[in-house]
Structure 1
Amino acid sequence: MSLFGPAATTHRGAPVVDVDIYGDDVIDDAPAVYRRIRDAGPVVWLPRHRMFAVGRFDDVRAVLRDDATFRSGQGVAANPVANALGRYTTLSSDDDAHMTRRMILMHSLTSRAIRRSLPTFESEAVSTVERLLDRPDFDGVADFATRLPVQAVAQLVGLEVTAEQMLTWGRATFNGLGPANGRAVRSMGDSLGLLGYTLKVGRRHVRPDGWGSTILDAADRGEVGRLEAKNMIIDLVAPSLDTTILSTGQLLWSLGTNPAAWQQLRDDPELVPAAVVEAVRLASPVRSFTRRVASPTHIGGVSLRPGDRVAVLFAAANSDERQFHHPEQFSLLRNGGHVGWGHGIHTCVGMQLAKLEMHTLLRAMIPRVTTITVGQPERLRNNCLQGFESFRAAFR
């Protein structure tokens, strides 16, 4: 019997790929495993996790669009405990509940709303680039990619906790969204710490002009319940830093390993948006979430039944050679979209904020940085996050 209840116990003809998609060996060699999953078929069976998985671009997009069949309301994790604990978050919701929570968050995160913070972002971006130009080298993640989210965005969230604490909580929460493996167990204290903190949040814990305050305002208006509002604080803390940091780290590393692309970008700054989109595709900072099947359906001739869990592999889809020519390469001229920010009604709420941060950093770099050099990266090991933990870099 599956831990998820009435889930699949046989693969029903789906190709079997016997890998632990959350294991260190897979994280360290993810492209090869993603290719194996894609080549096996439109949907595969993962016996170690007792769930199905989709990794081809078209199939991932189709699943994300069909939110009536592939549901998030009973959680998007690969373990039932996390799914139960996260049931009041925006991420783990469907239909009207999802749209209500989403609109409350969007009050702070629309392009128009975050434009007011542009001068702060620009000042911090210039300060970051000029400080790093004075150093012989630096850490591309800790010193460059992390700086703007930590200095600016953490302040906008408006909670009385440090940015470092938010980072710790965020990474632990993403670890908890995988299976109940050793990594998740080791992170449990920090992920429960975030949950415990949000359950105690009141007006005294948030700044009146912060994003957290807007959620409590919605509860005061009766748009969401008090417990629901407290849990929605997790939607601000968990994804607001790490996903942007990982995408920004990928952006820097890609430009450092492609000097021709950096020169092309300096010659034509209008390509800045294209550079950001391409970096997010390559980064795919969220490796995967799961969906629960609500009604009988088929993918590639494989029958899926209510209760089945399907891992939606964003990172595999973004490296699908069926969709992208030479997907492993960074290109400023690539056409078409990707699923690095998700797709459908669960598209990342903070997408515009992430774009603005990364655009601002690039525009600070273009007139000041002639060359970028980067070293071999160390990969982050996290159940659901994907990207670089660290790499050396230098500006000249």
Structure 2
Amino acid sequence: MIPAADSAFARRSGSPATLGSTLAELGRQQPVVFDELMNAPLVLRHHDVAAALRDTATFSTRFYGMGPMSQALIALDGVDHQRLRRVHNRFFSAAASTGYAAAVAPIAARTFGALAGRAEVELVEQAIARYPMEVFLALLGVPDELGDQGLAWVRTIMMWLGSPMDPTLAEPGLQAHVQLSDYTSQLVRRERHGDRDNLLGEIVRAFEAEGAYSPEAVTASVLGLLLGGFETTIQLMSATLSSLLLNPAALGRVRADRGLVDAAIDEAFRWANPTAGLYRLATRDTDVSGTAVPAGSMVYLCIAAAHFDEQAYPDAETFRLDRRGTHLGFGLGPHYCVGAPLARIEVTAALTALLDTCPGLRLDPGAQLSFHYGARGFVQHGTEALPVLV
């Protein structure tokens, strides 16, 4: 057992790769180990993590069935999950995503273009943190003035989700969820009588096409996208930028060849691992590499460790734009992140805009970076600040 004080999840580092590297080293010694801080056994090897993510019958997400995510994809299995997944596939089709990309690009250009000409910038709070909310407001056709209130609601709900047993967070979180749900439901009801070419319109039409429309179902879907993709996108952008800034040769290659942007995002999601891992509930007695996992127990599928498993990623410590193979940052199997296309669109637009307007972008050599689990108060691995010279 790893005592809470010795857990890798309790440490800070100047590199986003340290968490995964440290846990992978532990995984080379033993495939599964109980971590007192995470209150669960950590599954550390790539083969075991990938197998568990695919096996949703044994390693379930049903514990999400209570609270604000109870109607979201993550909480469903079987036929119900398949049906809702078909709906989501409709509004994240290739054609629809092309339209979203066209709408996101000018938002990114405005947000990150505003940094041009400054001497120094702290990227997270001054640009990255507000950007996903601005994207959602634009795609859903919501007035800009909701921005600050929307951010407050989402942060309060996510704090509750990240610490569901903390009674001081439950009441504010529940109240924020009710308020955000009511606001979103009004938008949904209004949109059904319109015919606008935006994300909300696509969602409404997708539910209607599958014969699954109800204001409640569409509202739950919109909230799931917002809650599931807001902070994750912030940390994915921070991970991509910090990875490139800490690897100047790779940054230079991407700056010279924008065709490498996708490769940079994928490798950053592996190397900087904003999704450190995922909890799953064992529905039956099983074992992982010889370690017994009783039915009813929780396990933590450690994606950060899997990303530095040399059996899956040779030369794992090195940030490589030519790496082949997929990362596990968006999950795997039936619960692969449904919002991944939108997250990729947002990060691609942001990175492109930033490189276009700030060609001299580099880390502030006088600043000390700090990466840790629980960054910004959420169950993500990342940083609160990314100071750069522009």
Tell me if TM exceeds 0.5. yes
Do structure 1's residue 305 and structure 2's residue 294 form an aligned pair? yes
Identify the structure with the greater helix proportion. 2
Structure 1 residue 216, shift from structure 2 partner: 5.8
Aligned ranges 1:8-157 → 2 under 5 Å: 16-19=1-4, 25-26=10-11, 30-31=19-20, 34-35=23-24, 37-47=26-36, 50-75=39-64, 83=66, 85-146=68-129, 148-157=131-140
Bigger shift: 246-255 or 17-26? Answer: 17-26
Q: Is the 8 A contact 2:115 2:358 kept in 1?
A: no
Task: State the Cα RMSD in Å.
Answer: 3.2
Query: Whose relative contact order is higher, 1 or 2, with alpha carbons under 8 Å and at least 6 apart?
Result: 2
Q: Partners of 1:55 and 1:253 in 2: how far apart?
A: 24
Partner in structure 1 of residue 261 of structure 2: 272
Q: Partners of 2:291 and 2:233 in 1: how far apart?
A: 36
Do structure 1's residue 377 and structure 2's residue 334 form an aligned pair? no
Q: Partners of 2:106 and 2:203 in 1: how far apart?
A: 28
Distance 1:118 1:47, change over 3 A: closer
String of CA shifts for 1:228-247, please: whole Å, max 9, x gaps.
Answer: 54433321221232211211
Identity within the alignment, %: 25
Distance 1:384 1:227, change over 3 A: same
Structure 1 residue 135, shift from structure 2 partner: 1.1
Do structure 1's residue 389 and structure 2's residue 384 form an aligned pair? yes
- 2:321 aligned partner, one-letter code: L
Structure 1 residue 129, shift from structure 2 partner: 3.9
Structure 1 residue 354, shift from structure 2 partner: 1.6
Structure 1 residue 299, shift from structure 2 partner: 0.8
From 166, 169, 173, the equivalent of 1:191 is 173
Distance 1:43 1:25, change over 3 A: closer
Partner in structure 2 of residue 244 of structure 1: 233
Q: Partners of 2:323 and 2:276 in 1: how far apart?
A: 21
Aligned ranges 1:313-324 → 2 under 5 Å: 313-324=302-313
Structure 1 stretches of at least 4 aligned residues deviating more than 6 Å after TM superposition? 20-24
Secondary structure in 1 matching 2:75: coil
- In structure 2, the gaps of 5 or more residues are none
String of CA shifts for 1:17-42, please: whole Å, max 9, x gaps.
Answer: 33379997346674475246524522
- 2:346 aligned partner, one-letter code: E
Aligned ranges 1:317-332 → 2 under 5 Å: 317-332=306-321
Partner in structure 1 of residue 285 of structure 2: 296
Distance 1:130 1:47, change over 3 A: closer
Q: Partners of 1:381 and 1:188 in 2: how far apart?
A: 18
Partner in structure 2 of residue 12 of structure 1: none
Distance 1:43 1:62, change over 3 A: same
TM-score (ref. length: structure 2) = 0.82
Partner in structure 1 of residue 147 of structure 2: 163
Q: Partners of 1:124 and 1:167 in 2: how far apart?
A: 17
Bigger shift: 341-350 or 208-217? Answer: 208-217
Partner in structure 2 of residue 79 of structure 1: none
String of CA shifts for 1:200-225, please: whole Å, max 9, x gaps.
Answer: 35653346245456656638975266
TM-score (ref. length: structure 1) = 0.81
Q: Partners of 1:95 and 1:308 in 2: how far apart?
A: 21
- In structure 1, the gaps of 5 or more residues are 1-15, 76-81
Secondary structure in 2 matching 1:364: helix
- 2:309 aligned partner, one-letter code: D
Q: Partners of 2:184 and 2:153 in 1: how far apart?
A: 19
